[in-house]
Amino acid sequence: MIKQTRITKQRQVVLEELQKVTTHPTADMVYDMVRKRLPNISLGTVYRNLELLAEQGIIRKLNIDEHKMRFDGNTSNHFHIQCIECGKVDDVSICENIDWLELTQDTGYEITGHRIELFGICPDCRSKQLQDQ
């Protein structure tokens, strides 16, 4: 069981800034956002708070980018799509009606989680490609 910790002002600001965006920022990006409100906050404090919030299930930690962890303030059940050109990550709603009980019965597996990875070229990058042709 995860021990609940108190919500400090710094932790609250990290959470609020993350929940304002749908861009799935890295810790460095969150740090830049938080510094606008808390100029003296350290990068280490942002990292620690993101980890703690993720451990408690208040935010999601995404292992989408092989080089940097990304974070999502939306903990609802949804999937992500990543642009192979610029690295942008967006939410995508697919497979919302999966019958997990039926899938468990069909496979014999106790399903503990899932991940679908979608990749493509975002509209901005696609538009740039078309302009360059």
- pLDDT tens, 54-113? 999 999 999 877 778 999 999 887 888 899 999 888 888 776 677 778 888 888 898 887
For residue 90, the enclosing domain spans 77-133
For residue 81, what is the domain's CATH number? 3.30.1490.190
Calculate what percentage of the chain has a pLDDT beyond 70: 95
Residues 63 and 36 grouped into a single domain: yes
Question: Are both 132 and 111 inside the same structural domain?
Answer: yes
The CATH number linked to 46 is: 1.10.10.10
Question: Among the residues of 36-120, which ranges form H helices?
Answer: 43-55, 100-107
Residue 62 · residue 80 · CB < 8 Å: yes
Strands annotated E in the chain:
60-62, 70-72, 79-83, 89-92, 117-120
Q: For the whole prediction, is pTM greater than 0.85?
A: no
